[in-house]
Amino acid sequence: MMDTGCWRWTLVLVVVLLSIYAEASFSRHMDDFIKVVTRLEDEDPRSNPAAILKKLRRAAGLNDAFIQHFLGDAGAGGPEIGANLSVYIRKAVHHRVTEDGEEHGVVLTPDGTTVALMPLLLGIEAGYLPRAKGAVQTLYQLTLTKDLRFSSKHKSPHTKLLGPDGCWDSVTSPRVFTLLDSPSMLTTAQLNGGMDGVILGMEARSRRPLRLSRLLMEYYCTQLESKGLDAAPRLISRCRRDNFRGLTSPPMLTRQVVKSLELQRKLAGKSKMVGKEKKQLMALVRAGVREFVHEYMDCPPIIPRCMWGAQPYRGTPTNLSLPLSFLYIHHTSTPGKPCLTFQQCSADMRSMQRFHQEDRGWNDIGYSFVAGSDGYIYEGRSWLWQGAHTLGHNSIGYGVSFIGDYMIHLPSQHSMGLVRDRLTSCAVGGGRLTANFTIQGHRQVVTTSCPGDALYNEIKGWEHFGEVDQHIQRKKSHEQTKM
């Protein structure tokens, strides 16, 4: 008969093996996290979403004083989650950034963006609170404003307060997410999760979905039809920034950041801020909120090069001298159809880069940015590197292309709005385009049918559209050798 010590070690081994199995079975993809939520719901069909969310919070160890102030103690109550899922949940939800730049507690969503689960789940759980307790400020303090801490060390105009984004080791089976730069107070994944937490928390308050998994699937996994976002449901992750913009305002965000800081001081037993200290804090918070509004509400969501699988730039890029004065509009012609998914848009980007590098002998994909019909802008040579999009004009303007052939049909209204309104606003606000910049079609300065008859006729009605200035200095010979 096995003694007590052997049984104990056997039990430990079983737990370890189950944990390893859970880690191997589920990647850091939102689809896999939804499978875990579905399993929890199926194991206890009588549990409502609030109970499932409390289980997840308990398994993830999200139970500090600040969270308990709003949501109560998650330490006990209801059936426990099995050992084979607890380790996965804790690693998938508990957020941290390591010294070597790996961000944990984030998942890749089907639309190609990365989301921190902690603020997402806290926001949704707050949405299920009874009306008397579930004030809107609870949503903001649990999701975003608690961690929007600004201090005097961030006064330098060259220091980013928010971001960065990052790259997954694999987009088919994501396990490791590495930041593209040094982390600030809130990474892009945290901000995505925070905005989603507010949006879905508000949705839970209004319609009380019966299953958490259904709410997550509708938001993250809805597939677009041929008209793209023009005919899509309102409540999907691709519309994150639009939806969040409709729910908030800079003054309200500023108030909630200050309230969060005051509550944290109170819970820590510190005295209230008064006089000069509070005025300084308010000034810093307003500046930080302005940066957030610019980067994550005014600017469009941009898929980084690493996420669509870009090959490295060949040689040494030529840096642009900013701000530029022109934005040149293109269509790809080939690929000839709009792309509606992250997977297809990424494949199209790789195909164009191969053509530009291998067939044309250029250093990189020629465009500065490319607009898909999936709700995202794809990073080409981006803001700082001179492109190879508009011969003779690459040094004075950005080249933005729409994936598809637009001789007869137009891109979606949503994708055109991303370029016409959001990308240009982002560029002007970031000092990359002059305020009086000019939009022109490729055909205005090069003999070509690009950007297609339909699209060209459309952009002629855009606010910044302009005719060709014959007196602009040309640098064709120089740019032909710098592609």
**Tokens coding 151:** 């201090």
**Tokens coding 18:** 């189950």
> pLDDT at residue 481 above 50?
no
- Can you tell me the mean pLDDT for 27-37? 97
Q: Which pLDDT value is given to residue 477?
A: 39
Residues in the chain: 483
Residue 140: helix, strand or coil by DSSP?
helix
Question: How far is Cα of residue 68 from the mean position of the Cα atoms in its chain?
Answer: 28
* 26 close to 35: Cβ distance less than 8 angstroms: yes
Average pLDDT in the chain: 89
Comparison of pLDDT for 113 and 209, the residue scoring more: 113
> pLDDT at residue 366 above 80?
yes
What is the distance between the alpha carbons of residues 377 and 53, in angstroms, rounded to a whole number?
33
Provide φ and ψ at 276, rounded to 5°. -60, -40
Q: Which pLDDT value is given to residue 476?
A: 45
**Tokens coding 260:** 């969060």
pLDDT tens digit string along 275-301? 888 888 888 888 889 999 999 999 999
Q: How sure is the predictor about 2, in pLDDT bands with cuts at 50, 70 and 90?
A: very low
Provide the residue type at 233 as one letter: P
DSSP letter assigned to residue 451: T
pLDDT tens digit string along 40-99? 999 989 889 999 999 999 999 999 999 999 999 987 666 678 777 899 999 999 999 999
DSSP letter assigned to residue 377: E
What is the enclosing helix (H) or strand (E) of 306? helix 305-308
Residue 96: helix, strand or coil by DSSP?
strand
Provide φ and ψ at 61, rounded to 5°. 75, 30
Taking alpha carbons only, the member of 113, 174, 121, 181 closest to residue 378 is 113
Question: How far is Cα of residue 445 from the mean position of the Cα atoms in its chain?
Answer: 35
Question: How far is Cα of residue 162 from the mean position of the Cα atoms in its chain?
Answer: 12
Q: Which residue is listed with tokens 């032909």? A: 480
DSSP letter assigned to residue 109: -
Q: How sure is the predictor about 154, in pLDDT bands with cuts at 50, 70 and 90?
A: very low
pLDDT tens digit string along 377-433? 999 999 999 999 999 999 999 999 999 999 999 999 999 999 999 999 999 999 999
What is the distance between the alpha carbons of residues 58 and 62, in angstroms, rounded to a whole number?
6
What is the distance between the alpha carbons of residues 54 and 80, in angstroms, rounded to a whole number?
11
Q: Which residue is listed with tokens 């195909």? A: 351
> Residues with Cβ < 8 Å from 275, sequence gap 6 or more?
none
- What is each CA distance from 468 to 126, 400, 462, in whole angstroms? 55, 18, 15
Please list the alpha-helical segments (H only) found in 61-187.
Answer: 65-71, 83-93, 117-127, 136-143
Tell me the whole-structure pTM to 2 decimals: 0.91
